[in-house]
Amino acid sequence: MCNIYKDQKKGSCNHHDHKEWSRRSFVKALGIVGGGSMALANTSLTVSQPSLLEAALNQSDNDRVLVLIRLKGGNDGLNTIIPYYDYDNYARVRETIRIKEDQLFKLNTDFAMPKYANDMQYLWDQGQMKVIHGVGYENSSRSHFTGSDIWATADINDVQETGWAARYFENIYPDYLVTPPDRPAAIQIGNNGNLIFDGTDTNFAFSVSNPDQLAQIAENGVVYDLNGIPDNAHGRQVQYLKGIANTTIKHSEVINQAYEKTSSSSDYSSDSDIAKQLRVVSRLIRGNLKTKIYLVTIGSFDTHNNQSARHSKLMEELSNALSVFYKELNRDGWGDKVLSMTISEFGRRVEQNGSGGTDHGTAAPVMIFGGELKGDGFVGNHPDLNDLGQGGNLKYNQSFVNIYSTIMKKWLCVPDNLVDRVLGQHPSLDLGFDCPSQSSSSNNKAEDQITLSAFEHKIIQSRDQPYLYINNDKTGHIVIKIYNMMGQEVGVLKNEMMFEGEHKIYFDEISGITLDTGQYLYRIDKGGQKYSKLFMVQ
């Protein structure tokens, strides 16, 4: 027997088992979209009430949205935000790929951007754009895979295997597998391995591989045709996954309803992927879908060669799409409710290479956009081109995790102690926004500190046999049931008073039941609060 709870270090046989057998891997292999829940129809599973934490946050809910814009491949920050105050040094190390002075538009006396990105000038002039200088982390990885994982997990040691947003959602939706929210918690376009929404055993995002697929779902409310699937064990599991029982189909419907409430502007000047993505996201936001986090992706930033032509095309597409995106949002009263942020796995090396490009680097600027920024501006100091780090790379001076923490606390208005649980303790930055006050005596943030459950549950893989570990924070009655992947009850593991403290519960305690090889779900009912997790029997 093995579990898919990631309590083992990378490199262990258990980690290998996770890679082979996790439900997430199976979903990705089949190209399935959407988060997961158990098949509720005609089963003994029942939907639970919202968690106490979810209910508390809902009471203080605001309509703010976060849009993450992934610049996949490693964006060259030095040719995005040009240090005009140090132009001679910049031009010296970039003899053929520098942006010439007459091809720049100035943001202020010290910094400029290429004219091919001049659609962003609208955002800057409207006070809807800020630049955070020198963002990175200590001993930055220059691997695409490791760098992407670190930015997605917010763990600079690359040990954590769950995404930072997923850890937040795991606290809000402890029974997500059975009772997902009625709207997508997140929407991700491009299911190419990013971990931001990957939890212990499910992905919390409604995920599609490309913008055309999301547009189809938004327009038609249909994901997959479930007819014609073979009536055998494999077919039934495929049918379960493709239906994603109560999550994908239901979310397809609400996505369609939000999409149909609005229309798109004809001002998007290109049919690029990023324009298509933001066009659909704009309609969903303006249609009041109430999804809190979106992730869109623009690729091909790995500019080892021919950078001048490649990077200019990408930045032109991005700047046009972003400016139209915010014009639509501003027109419909949403501009001050949507914060967008660029992320990329690393920057590029300062000195150009021999192929007219740049190699993998370290620090780079992060750009943020939105109507609540209270004016344009810069945050922090630009790295010194005369004081480079190892390998001729820019030295970082701002941790990307500080930005995440600030956005969670001050934009999404997540209680401080929950953010600290998800990310660890990090200082907040002055990015120009804070949680809005509903009145002089009421803040739109639930509470700076909110009571978090200390109840723990996970499966531990021991040498003898795996067991369910519970650290009970309060004595009380507890019911633990096991279900198969069709949502059918297999047996009752516990139905008794459980004292405060640590407990080990072995699966052979299910009287007269032997669990066959396969995937199962355990569901805990503790005083009306429900928790659910997947595990694997081998």
- Give the pairing type, strands 529-537 and 437-439: unpaired
Residues with Cβ within 8 Å of 509's Cβ and at least 6 positions away in sequence, in order, are: 493, 494
What's the mean per-residue pLDDT of the chain? 82
Measured in residues, the chain has a length of: 538
Three-class SS of residue 128? coil
Q: H or E segment at 523?
A: strand 518-526
Cα 345 to Cα 363: distance, rounded to the nearest angstrom = 9
Per DSSP, the residues of 237-298 read: HHHHHHHTTTTHHHHHHHHHHHHHT----S------HHHHHHHHHHHHHHTT----EEEEEE
Cα 105 to Cα 98: distance, rounded to the nearest angstrom = 14
Cα 54 to Cα 31: distance, rounded to the nearest angstrom = 30
- Give the pairing type, strands 65-71 and 293-298: parallel
Cα 318 to Cα 298: distance, rounded to the nearest angstrom = 8
pLDDT in tens, 356-369: 999 999 999 999 99
**pLDDT score recorded for residue 459:** 84
Per-domain boundaries in the chain: 13-30+453-537, 57-443
Cα 393 to Cα 387: distance, rounded to the nearest angstrom = 9
And the tokens for 16? 């290998």
And the tokens for 11? 């490199």
Q: Which residue has the tokens 């040009």?
A: 82
**pLDDT score recorded for residue 274:** 94
Q: How do the pLDDT tens digits run along the chain, 538 residues long?
A: 333 233 333 333 333 333 333 334 434 433 334 444 444 333 444 444 444 455 445 544 578 999 999 999 999 999 999 999 999 999 999 999 999 999 999 999 999 999 999 999 999 999 999 999 999 999 999 999 999 999 999 999 888 889 999 999 998 888 888 888 888 999 998 766 688 998 887 888 888 877 787 877 777 766 555 566 777 777 666 655 665 433 445 688 888 889 999 888 777 776 889 999 999 999 999 999 999 999 999 999 999 999 999 999 999 999 999 999 999 999 999 999 999 999 999 999 999 999 999 999 999 999 999 999 987 799 999 999 999 999 999 999 999 999 999 999 999 999 898 999 999 999 999 999 998 764 333 444 545 555 566 788 888 877 667 788 999 988 999 999 988 887 888 888 899 999 999 999 887 767 667 778 888 888 999 888 888 888 877 7
Give φ, ψ of 195 to 5 degrees.
-95, 0
**pLDDT score recorded for residue 222:** 60
Cα 509 to Cα 463: distance, rounded to the nearest angstrom = 18
Amino acid identity, position 126:
Q
Rg (CA), the chain: 24
Cα 271 to Cα 255: distance, rounded to the nearest angstrom = 22
Domain 13-30+453-537 has CATH 2.60.40.3080: yes
CB-based contact 274:320 (threshold 8 Å): no
**pLDDT score recorded for residue 176:** 87
Cα 140 to Cα 137: distance, rounded to the nearest angstrom = 6
Q: Do domains 13-30+453-537 and 57-443 have the same CATH topology?
A: no
Class of domain 57-443: alpha beta
Q: How far from 31 is each of 25, 76, 208, 213, CA to CA, in Å? A: 10, 32, 9, 12
SS (H, E, C) 203-253: ECEEEECCHHHHHHHHHHCCCCCCCCCCCCHHHHHHHHHHHCCCCHHHHHH
**pLDDT score recorded for residue 175:** 86
Cα 300 to Cα 314: distance, rounded to the nearest angstrom = 8
CB-based contact 435:372 (threshold 8 Å): no
**pLDDT score recorded for residue 28:** 42
